Amino acid sequence: MAEVTTPVDDDPYLWLEEVTSERALDWVRARNEETVGLLTRGRRFESLREELRQVLDADDRIPYVRRRGDHLYNFWQDADHPRGLWRRTTLEEYRKPEPGWEVLIDVDALAAAEGENWVWQGATVLRPSLRRCLVELSRGGADATVVREFDLERAEFVEGGFELPEAKSSVAWIDEDRVYVGTDFGEGSLTTSGYPRLVKEWRRGTPLSQANLVFEGKPEDVAVHGFRDATPGWERDLVRRSIDFYRSELYLRTGEELTRIDVPDDATTSVYREWLLVRTRSSWRVGGSEHPPGALLAVRLADFMAGERTMTVLFEPDAHTCLDYHAWTRDHLIIGALSDVTTRLRVLTPGAGGWRDRPLAGVPEVGTVALVDTEPYRDNEFLLQTSGFTEPAALVRGVLGGERSGDANTELETLKRAPDFFSSEGMRTEQLFATSRDGTRVPYFVVRPADGSEGPTLLTGYGGFEVSLTPSYSGVTGRGWLAKGGTYVVANLRGGGEYGPDWHSQAVKANRERVYEDFAAVATDLVARGITTPGRLGIQGGSNGGLLTGVMLTRHPELFGTVVSQVPLLDMRRYHLLLAGASWLAEYGNPDEPEDWAYLSAYSPYHNVENGQSYPPVLFVTSTRDDRVHPAHARKMVARMRQYGHDVNYYENIEGGHGAAADNAQLAFKWALVFEFLWRRLSDLSAR
């Protein structure tokens, strides 16, 4: 294992942390010019970019919707509207091949009129009237947004309405004349992670400075926010304090009083109508029973607040199955579970005799079924997306039986189906298992030509924050990689959520080595099975996955032919001091603590690059406007590798936020660069 070669407090590239300084941007421009000049020459790059742009801008893509009252809302980007249209329609219209849409906001026109590079970040609709919403727009795709009130009946911004300047704000409706707001109120109002530390109640027509304080978190918290549950007949106000990434406290607000809901702070807690749901992250002994990590429990909220501690078990995990998601319709609870990383759905219905549990029948047997939307304020409708690596997505609608029937059976209606963006004929998908260093079986999926032809292999993974990577269709990966003869591999590493909280907790802080051991085991297994060779194996990952590929670069360079690291964390000595980094201390540890720095320094890619070591070619991709993971991680890594004479390439998009692209043109260009780099380095074919 490489030793740290530079004292942690003697960093010659700190100046690259000055995001928009001319010196730093001149360096960025020079690196971009080198990489773009190298990778965009020839017909293959132009063909890749054009093919990917066709996927991203295709008119027959599924326009995904969220129901709000009688309308289905959609945000749409295409070649004519690169910044996008926020629009709505009715279900009757949506069923048509070409629905009629009512455009509410044309972001391109708004940006042109206001001289801004607006990027859409969503809207929060006022309930129950649905007359107003709070629109969030960011400059260049950053997490920080401008908030503006919008009238949904008049389709225009409200003059003199609720409005917030650019900040990482939290805002939610109380009623038509009041909102909960957390924002940058000035010194001391943000946490060390850069998110709101104060929740205030702001009344229409009054200055923001006069908003009344409701709750104050601690500076070291991640964030706090207030919100209202507007379910008719069950209206209530709540405040959530996020202590760290995995621990939080939920308070009921009654008048000026706040009462904490007394559940473990590492549990995920929600309320709906009379029910309190608790999803455990660690074992919880309560009411005379021991509940394991990953269980879903229910109790009536009023009873719990009065002291009742007997919980109804709605879901309990086993060695192969974990809870992925749950969501209410008006009368039912839909549960999505992962069984060896494949989705299974059930419907639970509370009634006088207890909870009724049955499968949700009729859902296609594919790799992943994602819950797109429910509207519990309205009815028992639900929208699902089904897809697999080679099965294009379909949007499916169903309506469960009403409260009295308790019926979980429904006829499913396919509303929309995505086109085949690449031919999957002759391709096969299989799930395999590698054995990690400590004996743990690590699943991974392989998508490849059925004839076993030996094209290059691209391996990706994430391994963090309890995020699960499940089989899903990607027209971009399909056209850019699979259709051209490549093999695609997705590794389900510890640190993720594929087998529940324990799968994640096995690989946090001092045990993070297991993520990298798992990934190395998958790479080794691919070679042992004859699927690929080290020289033909490329890896790619973004964000925490960018850290993963950075560690693989410095720790196991012999396993790979090339590396792509996107919007990555790489300097684990200073990550907690940069932008939102402090919010991830619960995942990685605190480098200011000697015992934590001892293990962080062992894998921090920036501190383990060696002079004279042989590394595979690497491409780093990031964004100037990423205000979540600081672009200096990638900048400094590239500077150090260049100092040592390594084969390193760099591209930094000026816009794009954490996604490194603000529109489809930028996204197509970014992925064309990535695929061109991979094909050049892993294929015997030369660029033409």
pLDDT at 405: 46
pLDDT at 6: 38
pLDDT at 363: 87
pLDDT band at 401; cut points 50, 70, 90: confident
Q: List, for residues 45-104, the tens digit of each pLDDT value.
A: 999 999 999 999 999 999 999 999 999 999 999 999 999 999 999 999 999 999 999 999
Contact criterion met (CB below 8 Å) for 408 and 401:
yes
Closest CA to 454 of 536, 388, 373: 536
| Alpha-carbon gap, residue 95 to 414, rounded angstroms | 9
> Averaged over 498-508, what is the pLDDT?
97
pLDDT at 454: 74
The reply to whether the predicted model has a pTM over 0.85 is yes
pLDDT at 407: 53
Percent composition of the chain: helix, strand, coil (DSSP 3-state, to 5): 25, 35, 40
The reply to whether 543 belongs to the active site is yes
Q: Could you give the dihedral angle defined by the CA atoms of residues 284, 285, 290 and 294, in that order, rounded to the nearest 10 degrees?
A: -10
Q: Domain residue spans in the chain?
A: 14-54+456-465+512-521+533-682
| Alpha-carbon gap, residue 112 to 628, rounded angstroms | 26
Backbone angles phi, psi at 101, to 5 degrees: -115, 140
**Which residue type, as a one-letter code, is found at position 580?**
A
pLDDT at 9: 58
Per DSSP bridges, beta strands 537-542 and 562-566 are parallel
Contact criterion met (CB below 8 Å) for 77 and 663:
yes
pLDDT band at 633; cut points 50, 70, 90: very high
pLDDT higher at 453 or 208: 208
Q: Spell out the long-range contacts of 50-55 with Cβ–Cβ below 8 A and sequence spacing 24 or more.
A: 51/479, 51/480, 52/476, 52/479, 52/480, 52/667, 52/668, 52/671, 52/672, 53/79, 53/664, 53/665, 53/668, 55/421, 55/475, 55/476, 55/479
Place of tokens 């801008």: 57
Per DSSP bridges, beta strands 257-260 and 248-254 are antiparallel
Closest CA to 299 of 336, 267, 329: 267
Rg (CA), the chain: 25
> Averaged over 620-630, what is the pLDDT?
93
Residues in contact with 402: Cβ distance below 8 Å, sequence separation at least 6, in sequence order = 331, 380
Hey, CA dihedral for 638, 642, 648, 651, is it positive or negative?
positive
Contact criterion met (CB below 8 Å) for 469 and 495:
no
Residue 684 has pLDDT above 60, yes or no: no
Q: List, for residues 280-330, the tens digit of each pLDDT value.
A: 999 999 999 999 999 999 999 999 999 999 999 999 999 999 999 999 999
**Residue 445 CB neighbours (<10 A):** 20
- Which is the catalytic residue, given 505, 543, 565, 623? 543
pLDDT at 584: 96
| Alpha-carbon gap, residue 649 to 38, rounded angstroms | 9
Closest CA to 393 of 58, 6, 45, 28: 58
Percentage of the chain lying above the pLDDT 90 cut? 90
pLDDT band at 687; cut points 50, 70, 90: very low
> Averaged over 640-660, what is the pLDDT?
89
| Alpha-carbon gap, residue 535 to 404, rounded angstroms | 62
pLDDT at 450: 74
Contact criterion met (CB below 8 Å) for 166 and 145:
yes
pLDDT higher at 1 or 241: 241
pLDDT higher at 22 or 411: 22
> Averaged over 467-479, what is the pLDDT?
96
Which ranges constitute the DSSP H helices of 459-582? 475-480, 501-505, 513-528, 544-555
CA 75 to chain centre: 18
| Alpha-carbon gap, residue 268 to 264, rounded angstroms | 9
Distances (CA, A) of 226 to 56, 201, 466, 550: 36, 9, 25, 38
Indicate the average pLDDT of the chain: 94
pLDDT at 452: 65
Residue 630 has pLDDT above 70, yes or no: yes
Q: List, for residues 374-398, the tens digit of each pLDDT value.
A: 999 999 999 999 999 999 999 999 9
Contact criterion met (CB below 8 Å) for 437 and 521:
yes
Q: List, for residues 175-217, the tens digit of each pLDDT value.
A: 999 999 999 999 999 999 999 999 999 999 999 999 999 999 9
Kindly state the helix (H) or strand (E) to which residue 182 belongs, with its residue range.
strand 178-182
Closest CA to 232 of 123, 350, 351, 127: 127
Lowest mean pLDDT among 264-278, 404-418, 497-511: 404-418
| Alpha-carbon gap, residue 316 to 295, rounded angstroms | 5
pLDDT band at 42; cut points 50, 70, 90: confident
pLDDT at 233: 94
pLDDT at 409: 60
Report the topology of domain 14-54+456-465+512-521+533-682. Answer: Rossmann fold (3.40.50)
